[in-house]
Amino acid sequence: MNRWLTEAVPRGRVAAFRTLIYLFVAADLVIFTPWVRTRVSVPGDLYQPLLIGRLLPLPTPTETLVTVIFWALLLLALLAATGRAPRLLGWAVCALYLEWMIIAMSYGKVDHDRFGLLVALAVLPTAGRARHGDTTRTEAGGWALRVTQIAVICTYFLAAFAKLRFGGLDWLTGSVLARAIIRRGTDLADLIAQVPYLLIVAQFGIVAFELLSPMVFFLPPRWRLAMVGFFYSFHAVTIATITISFAPHLAAMTSFLPLERVRPLVWARRLLGRGSPEPTTDAPEPRPADVDPAPGDQGPVTAGAGPALDDQAPVVGRPAGP
């Protein structure tokens, strides 16, 4: 078990995963969760912190607090994406993003797609230094990726457990997807909804896939990547039908991928190198006499060029001296 948890991976994979996660945190602030800044306009009485917020305890959000967290987290996430000071910057980003999520989820709605991302932020500082393209293997980095993978799969498995716990078998045969399509469905979803019993079959399929998701750890590497590809295709269909993205979960799920093979900067350099003009030289072309003859083709012997190959034997009987 310990060997499986700490299975060594290339440091280049850890570096790529670290860059991707911290860049996503920066993007999350300005694209997916900018609405957290509007929480300051909500009366403080409506702030009901999560359990962790009550245990620490954390202050009630104010405009100053939220603004400081936003700009500090944005700056530190961009710095952490460079791979410098992985422990110092990593722990700082983890603490600030956790507080950002506590503020976001303490007003009545908790999103379960953040679990894998929060775990990734908590374990990345322990992976140590890693450089892009480095093929040496690290057990510390392997542990960080494995724990993130477990969190990703727990998100699926526990989601199915919650469906059956609170909805029972009625969740499978009810109108869950139908209500989701009515609320936020797309034109594609409207077409699917017209097929009889297809939504019921889809609900059975969703719970089955979530319950069987831990099987990904028992598959050979090639089949494991295929199953992860199925996970991504499932979310692509979810986005296309009911416009739910699970973007943080998708970012954390890249812990399964061989990210060390993704080298955008190297690809860009190669692309620019191909597009640059070939270097030219002004050196004159060699004259025919300066070109070395091909093997077996000695050509004519010119004056001062020395004897031919057949004339290399010494001359016997020639007087020495004038």
Phi, psi at 298, each rounded to 5° = -80, -25
Residue 122 CA to residue 96 CA, distance in Å, equals: 11
Q: What is the DSSP letter of 79?
A: H
Which helix (H) or strand (E) segment is 11 a member of?
helix 11-27
Sign of CA dihedral 158, 164, 165, 171: positive
Tell me if 266 sits within 8 A of 16, measured CB to CB: no
pLDDT in 10s for each residue of the chain, 322 residues = 889 999 999 999 999 999 999 999 999 999 999 999 888 788 777 888 888 888 988 888 889 999 999 999 999 999 999 999 999 999 999 999 999 999 999 988 888 899 999 999 999 999 999 999 899 999 999 999 999 999 999 999 999 999 999 999 999 999 999 999 999 999 999 999 999 999 999 999 999 999 999 999 999 999 999 999 999 999 999 999 999 989 999 999 999 999 998 877 776 777 787 755 555 545 555 555 544 454 444 444 444 444 444 444 444 444 444 3
Tell me if 49 sits within 8 A of 57, measured CB to CB: yes
Tokens 């597009």 sit on residue: 275
18's tokens: 């670290």
Burial label, 134 (beta-carbon count in 10 A; 0-12, 13-18, 19+): middle
pTM, to two decimals: 0.80
Phi, psi at 286, each rounded to 5° = -65, 145
3-state secondary structure of 137: strand
Residue 51 CA to residue 36 CA, distance in Å, equals: 19
122's tokens: 């908590």
Total Cβ atoms within 10 A of residue 131: 11
